[in-house]
């Protein structure tokens, strides 16, 4: 079901990117990015590979450094100040394409690591939260197994639960289903759709256009480091304005 | 469909009777058929090797056991054609304990037992927490009390421990500890700092505790197995964390730390251990203010620690490099700071991967300690070697070296088996 167009003009912005530029050496990978993400907004970012979409969301939690412009998350400006970076990383959870679970820890230990060591939570409370999250992603029975013993779809759901364990206000997804077998993509997308329904602010880099239609408030198309076009999903897919957008949609919607 | 009331062999899906595999394929015969006699060439090779092994073993056992002399009064009596184990029987005290005073040699014996016990206890994973520090403090205290006979603890030592412990506690537990615990660390560090400053400026007089239950034996008289064990155990115990810090330093983004780490590693790896020992023994006194004399054994110990540390650093760096970048990123994204990320996520994985080359290095260094002969310290191999010098027992090098080899083999093979055990234990969750 397509999301009804929501009026978010009165909600506060949680992420602001102002004239953000980034270079890898001489290569200009992000070019004058301006983006305003409202609280509770779900944004899908799509584009050809090399367009800078992963780099963009990785700049938000400082996994990549931007050289020019401002990034402000929840009022905290992202700079080289370690305190700012850590404050932002506590509020922003991230899910990676290659899951990045810690293979030497059990599933439950993966989930409780950050609450115990970053939030100084007692182990019991952290484990309760961990088990509740595993119930939410529907794999509570895997709590004492190791990541190597789980399937890809299960590992990614654990990764989502692990990011949620820190109670973030914003969730970033970097191609969460791209490394999964097709039959496992649905189980992960279902979890993400539920999460969206609960009001989480989400930035999702993905090629899953069905997900975009179902859940997104805005779809952003990036190419060669620039935001080329952005719109509500129905308008975006039905009536792309830019030539490059049309080309990309033609390639991606025809298989 | 077959009738369910049929007797005889079990029936498979299609109803055909399930037969047993051919006799020649299973059990002992099967193993021999496949591994030893699978083809004509293999069969002939097997027979040739069996004959060669049996003949070698039989002549060796003939020399070593059947025709051997087990007790004798002097070397002349011992030339019965077989091995002269009487030499070992006569000289074992010197081989094991060197020139330690004869009546007091129970002390180095118990020191060796204490160190072996300490190592065995440390090998159990259940002790891998704060208990390890307690075990090693107690074990080391016993070992050195037995070896030296008398220990003097200057008060400054306790002050330094307070300073380091308090500072370390503050740094490591700053995120996780309650304020009460943090205050304890701060107080300890403060007392330590004030005390050290007072002592350095001479305001606080030097005093300390002396424990003197036995007669004093200086390090120059130490020899044999305790020397090898002390140099190897404490050498590697200190070199291991030192190597890890060097490896982390080498991967640092701060140019000064990286430069110092690289410089140290390359310098130490570029020179032989012998030259380090000679430099430590001969050149270091030239640089120190005259009159101050650092114990020769301590200098050798420090040289071993520095040397092993550089090699361990490169092994650990290999392990760090093998980790996928995603592990670092996931840890960063969860707001873990550098110490937490390194201690909880990175090092556990990196160290597991490099257990084989690490234990390999440990086994090598255990035997490299023999090089301390160059500065006049007699470790186990060198005392064994000295046993050959006695003219009354001349001419039995094989027995002495075989015996020394056996003792080394026991230690090194144990380390090797432990390495195998560790690899299996620590990689339970991953498919290796």
3 state SS for chain A: CCCCCCCCCCCCEEEEEEEEEEEECCEEEEEEEEEEEECCCEEEEECCCCCCHHHHHHHHCCCCCCCEEEEEECCEECCCCHHHHHHHHHHEEEECCCCCCCCCCCHHHHHHHHHHHCCCCCHHHHHHHHHHHHHHCCCHHHCCCCHHHCCHHHHHHHHHHHHHCCCCCEEEEECCCCCCCHHHHHHHHHHHHHHHHCCCEEEEECCCHHHHHHHCCEEEEEECCEEEEEECHHHHHHCCCCHHHHHHHHHHCCC
Q: Which of A113, A149, A163 sits opposite B344 (nearest CB)?
A: A113
Tell me: pLDDT of A247 over 50.
Answer: yes
Q: Are B339 and B248 in contact (CB under 8 A)?
A: no
Share of chain B above pLDDT 90, in %: 43
Pairing state of beta strands A68-73 and A170-174? unpaired
> For the residues A159-167, what does the mean pLDDT come to?
95
Give chain A positions within 8 Å (CB) of B333: 61, 63, 89, 92-94, 163
CA–CA min distance A175, chain B (Å)? 14
CA–CA min distance B329, chain A (Å)? 7
pTM: 0.84
Which CA distances in Å does B386 have to A111, B72, B146? Answer: 61, 19, 24
* Averaged pLDDT of chain A: 91
What pLDDT shows up at residue B282?
79
CA–CA min distance B419, chain A (Å)? 18
Pair of tokens at residue A40:
């509770």
d(CA B267, CA B281): 18
Q: Which residue of B has its CA nearest to A88?
A: B335
User: What is the ipTM score, two decimals?
Assistant: 0.91
What pLDDT shows up at residue B176?
64
Q: Which residue of B has its CA nearest to A64?
A: B329
Q: Are A115 and A165 in contact (CB under 8 A)?
A: yes
Give chain B positions within 8 Å (CB) of A126: none
What DSSP designation does B66 have?
I
Q: Is A152 left (phi over 0), alpha (psi -120 to 50) or beta?
A: alpha
Q: Are A248 and A221 in contact (CB under 8 A)?
A: yes
d(CA B20, CA B172): 63
What pLDDT shows up at residue B31?
81
Give chain B positions within 8 Å (CB) of A92: 333
Q: Which of B324, B335, B349 sits opposite A114 (nearest CB)?
A: B335
B92-121 per-position pLDDT tens digit: 888 899 889 988 899 999 999 999 999 999
What pLDDT shows up at residue B2?
46
What pLDDT shows up at residue B5?
47
Tell me: pLDDT of A2 over 50.
Answer: no
In chain B, which residues have pLDDT < 50?
1-6, 432
Residue of B177, B178, B180, B330 best to disrupt the A interface, most CBs of A under 10 A: B330
Q: Which residues contact B163 (CB under 8 A, 6 or more apart)?
A: B188, B189, B192, B193, B195, B196
What pLDDT shows up at residue B64?
85
Q: Are A133 and A164 in contact (CB under 8 A)?
A: yes
Beta bridge partners of A204: A44, A173
> For the residues A212-216, what does the mean pLDDT come to?
92
What pLDDT shows up at residue B126?
83
CA–CA min distance A7, chain B (Å)? 31
Residue of B128, B174, B334, B423 best to disrupt the A interface, most CBs of A under 10 A: B334
A16-37 per-position pLDDT tens digit: 999 999 999 999 999 999 999 9
What pLDDT shows up at residue B11?
57
Q: Are B244 and B119 in contact (CB under 8 A)?
A: no
The answer to whether the Cβ–Cβ distance between A104 and B430 falls below 8 Å is yes
CA–CA min distance B430, chain A (Å)? 6
Map residue B208 onto helix, strand or coil.
strand
What pLDDT shows up at residue B424?
87
Q: Which residues contact A165 (CB under 8 A, 6 or more apart)?
A: A111, A112, A114, A115, A126, A129, A130, A133
What pLDDT shows up at residue B131?
85
Which of B310, B318, B299 minimizes the C-alpha distance to B263? B310
d(CA A158, CA A139): 8
What pLDDT shows up at residue A255?
54
**Is B180 near chain A, with CB under 8 Å?**
no
**Is A114 near chain B, with CB under 8 Å?**
yes
What pLDDT shows up at residue B291?
67
């Amino acid at each position: 079901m397509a999301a009804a167009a929501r009026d978010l003009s009165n909600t506060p912005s949680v992420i602001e990117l102002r004239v953000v530029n980034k270079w890898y050496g001489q290569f200009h990978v992000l070019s004058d990015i301006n983006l305003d993400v409202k609280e509770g907004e779900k944004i899908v970012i799509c584009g050809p590979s090399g367009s800078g979409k992963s780099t963009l969301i990785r700049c938000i939690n400082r996994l990549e450094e931007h050289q020019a412009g401002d990034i402000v998350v929840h009022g905290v400006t992202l700079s080289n100040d370690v305190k700012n970076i850590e404050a932002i990383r506590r509020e922003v959870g991230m899910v990676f394409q290659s899951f990045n679970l810690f293979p030497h820890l059990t599933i439950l230990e993966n989930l409780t690591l950050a609450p115990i060591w970053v939030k100084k939570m007692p182990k019991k409370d952290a484990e309760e939260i961990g088990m509740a999250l595993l119930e939410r992603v529907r794999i509570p029975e895997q709590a004492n197994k190791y990541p190597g013993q789980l399937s890809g779809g299960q590992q990614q759901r654990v990764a989502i639960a692990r990011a949620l364990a820190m109670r973030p206000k914003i969730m970033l997804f970097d191609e969460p289903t791209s490394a999964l077998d097709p039959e496992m993509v649905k189980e992960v997308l279902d979890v993400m759709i539920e999460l969206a329904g609960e009001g989480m602010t989400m930035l999702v880099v993905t090629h899953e256009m069905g997900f975009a239609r179902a859940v997104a408030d805005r779809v952003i198309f990036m190419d060669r480091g620039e935001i080329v076009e952005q719109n509500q999903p129905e308008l975006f897919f039905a009536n792309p304005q830019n030539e490059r957008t049309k080309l990309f949609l033609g390639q991606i919607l025809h298989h | 469909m077959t009738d369910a009331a049929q007797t005889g062999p079990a029936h498979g899906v299609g109803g055909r009777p399930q037969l047993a595999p051919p006799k020649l394929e299973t059990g002992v015969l099967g193993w021999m058929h496949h591994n030893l006699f699978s083809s004509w060439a293999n069969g002939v090779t097997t027979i040739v090797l069996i004959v060669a092994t049996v003949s070698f073993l039989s002549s060796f056992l003939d020399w070593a056991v059947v025709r051997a002399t087990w007790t004798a009064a002097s070397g002349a009596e011992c030339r019965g054609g077989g091995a002269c184990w009487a030499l070992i029987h006569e000289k074992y005290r010197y081989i094991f304990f060197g020139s330690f005073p004869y009546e007091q040699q129970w002390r180095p014996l118990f020191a060796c037992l204490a160190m072996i016990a300490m190592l065995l206890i440390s090998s159990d994973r259940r002790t891998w927490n704060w208990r390890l520090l307690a075990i090693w403090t107690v074990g080391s205290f016993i070992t050195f009390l037995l070896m030296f006979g008398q220990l003097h603890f200057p008060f400054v030592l306790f002050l330094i421990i307070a300073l380091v412990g308090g500072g370390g506690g503050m740094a490591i537990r700053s995120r996780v500890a309650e304020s009460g615990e943090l205050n304890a660390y701060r107080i300890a560090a403060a007392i330590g700092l004030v005390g050290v400053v007072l002592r350095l400026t001479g305001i606080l007089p030097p005093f300390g505790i002396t424990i003197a239950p036995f007669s004093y034996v200086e390090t120059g008289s130490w020899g044999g197995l305790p020397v090898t064990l002390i140099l190897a155990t404490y050498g590697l115990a200190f070199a291991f964390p030192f190597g890890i810090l060097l490896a982390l330093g080498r991967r640092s983004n701060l140019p000064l730390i990286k430069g110092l780490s690289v410089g140290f590693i390359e310098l130490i790896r570029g020179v032989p251990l012998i030259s380090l020992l000679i430099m430590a023994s001969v050149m270091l006194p030239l640089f120190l203010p005259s009159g101050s004399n650092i114990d020769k054994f301590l200098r050798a110990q420090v040289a071993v620690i520095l040397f092993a540390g550089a090699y361990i650093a490169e092994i650990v760096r290999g392990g760090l490099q093998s980790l996928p970048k995603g592990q670092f990123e996931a840890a960063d994204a969860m707001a873990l700071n550098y110490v937490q990320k390194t201690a909880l996520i990175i090092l556990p994985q990196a160290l597991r991967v490099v257990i084989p080359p690490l234990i390999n290095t440990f086994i090598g260094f255990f035997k490299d300690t023999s090089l301390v002969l160059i500065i006049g310290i007699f470790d186990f191999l060198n005392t064994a070697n000295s046993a050959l010098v006695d003219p009354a027992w001349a001419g039995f090098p094989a027995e002495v070296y075989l015996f020394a080899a056996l003792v080394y083999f026991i230690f090194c093979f144990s380390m090797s088996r432990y390495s195998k055990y560790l690899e299996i234990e620590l990689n339970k969750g991953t498919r290796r």
